[in-house]
Amino acid sequence: MSAELVAALAKTGLWVFALLQVAPVMLWLERRAPAFMQDRLGPNRVGPLGLLQGIADAVKFIFKEDTIPSGADRGLFLLAPALALVPALTTFLVLPFGPTVEIAGHTTALVVVDSDVGILVFLSLASLGVYSLVLAGWSSNNKWSLIGSIRASAQMISYELALTTTVVCALIPAGAMNLGAVVDYQREGLWQVVTQPLGFLVFLVAAFAETNRLPFDLPEAESELVAGYHTEYGSMRFAMFFMGEYMSMTTLAALGVTLYFGGWSLPFVDFSGFSGLVQALLGFGVIMLKVGLWLFFFIWVRWTFPRFRYDQLMHLGWKVLLPLALVQFVTTAALVVGGVL
């Protein structure tokens, strides 16, 4: 095997390993954190502090019966959960977690695919996620599932506009579509959360809608739709939707961190004195720490705000967030042309 291939496999392995840990950790946090907020205990029987509850859940998922409704479209019903993992397990490819370093005599950039169209690769792979929801809802042959998936696709397409516009704003000052360049730009100056607060706010709200999290979880609103698009799914197939959602949250949070919070870098700290391998691990640790804080914010918001009504959701997306994103776009462009940024 060539050195390039080994490097690519090692970097991919690091990301996949981290992403697979996200679902159990988030599962635990999603139960214990709100319990703390509401002055309850939460699950605390399995293992110390209930930490092994995730393993118990995984065992339950594996051993539960895998049912397929008789009216369902078999092929698409089985395909849909697998598609939920596609964007989650591919978008990290273009996210940088360190500078170009030398490891074991080979110079390598600490990003799996160092592409000049990096951010577009991320957005295009993320946009494939909607297929899983649409197919799950349609193939289940269940009216709740169908309504859930129609809501999901309309919501994701609507909020994708605002999200993409803010991403463009974040790219303008760096003058490149390579995410590594965006991080380098922030290392030399301020983090973009300071220079583009409006764009960051729109990105944050749109990220909630893109991942179908409360207050925008209308596709699976349990009080009206049972469980939305995954009503008919059980056992591991349900778990795949579940994992896909948490992994998508993680990669989207990692994109937000890269665009607005300096990515793998820390202010006033210089990693360049360390060896290549240490730099890689430190960079990855920093980005995961920032992503962790972002994910905690996701949980915090979920247990704080009530759900939106569907027309309010559409109103917010099209009439508030998109114009705000455009304001940020024009402002950023003017500031860059004026030489301020």
Partner 1 sequence: MTEVAVFAVFAAAALASAVVVVAHRNPVYSTMSLVVTLLSTAVLFVLLGSPFLAVLQVLLYTGAILVLFLFVIMLLNVGRERRLPGPVPLQTWAAAVGTLVLFGAVARLLWEAHGAVELAALTPDFVSTGKLAEALFSSYLLPFEIIALLLLVAVVAASWVARRGDRGEDEGVSS
Footprint on this chain of partner 1 (rule: CB under 8 A): 73, 75-76, 115-117, 120-121, 123-125, 127-128, 130-131, 134-135, 137-138, 146, 149-150, 153, 157, 177, 311, 314-315
Q: Which is nearer to partner 1, 30 or 210 (CB)?
A: 210
Q: What angle do CA 283, 286, 289 make, to 5 degrees?
A: 150
The one-letter amino acid at 140: S
Cα–Cα dist 328/199, whole Å: 6
Q: Which is nearer to partner 1, 2 or 272 (CB)?
A: 2
Q: Give DSSP secondary structure letters for 60-112.
A: HHHHS-----TTS-HHHHHHHHHHHHHHHTTGGGG---S-EEEETTEEEESSS
Q: Which is nearer to partner 1, 130 or 287 (CB)?
A: 130
Q: Which is nearer to partner 1, 29 or 150 (CB)?
A: 150
Which sign does the torsion angle of CA 62, 65, 68, 69 carry?
A: negative
Q: How far is the CB of 207 from partner 1 (least distance, A)?
A: 17
Q: Which is nearer to partner 1, 21 or 124 (CB)?
A: 124
The one-letter amino acid at 284: F
Q: How far is the CB of 171 from partner 1 (least distance, A)?
A: 11
Q: How far is the CB of 333 from partner 1 (least distance, A)?
A: 13
Cα–Cα dist 27/213, whole Å: 14
Q: How far is the CB of 164 from partner 1 (least distance, A)?
A: 9
Q: Which is nearer to partner 1, 51 or 161 (CB)?
A: 161
**Residue recorded with tokens 């109103």:** 315
Cα–Cα dist 223/204, whole Å: 26
Q: How far is the CB of 148 from partner 1 (least distance, A)?
A: 12
Q: How far is the CB of 135 from partner 1 (least distance, A)?
A: 8
Residue 109 neighbours by CB distance under 10 Å? 16
Cα–Cα dist 60/58, whole Å: 5
Q: Which is nearer to partner 1, 116 or 224 (CB)?
A: 116
Q: How far is the CB of 120 from partner 1 (least distance, A)?
A: 4
- For helices 143-171 and 129-139, the axis angle rounded to 10 degrees is 170
- Token pair, residue 15, equals 């990301």
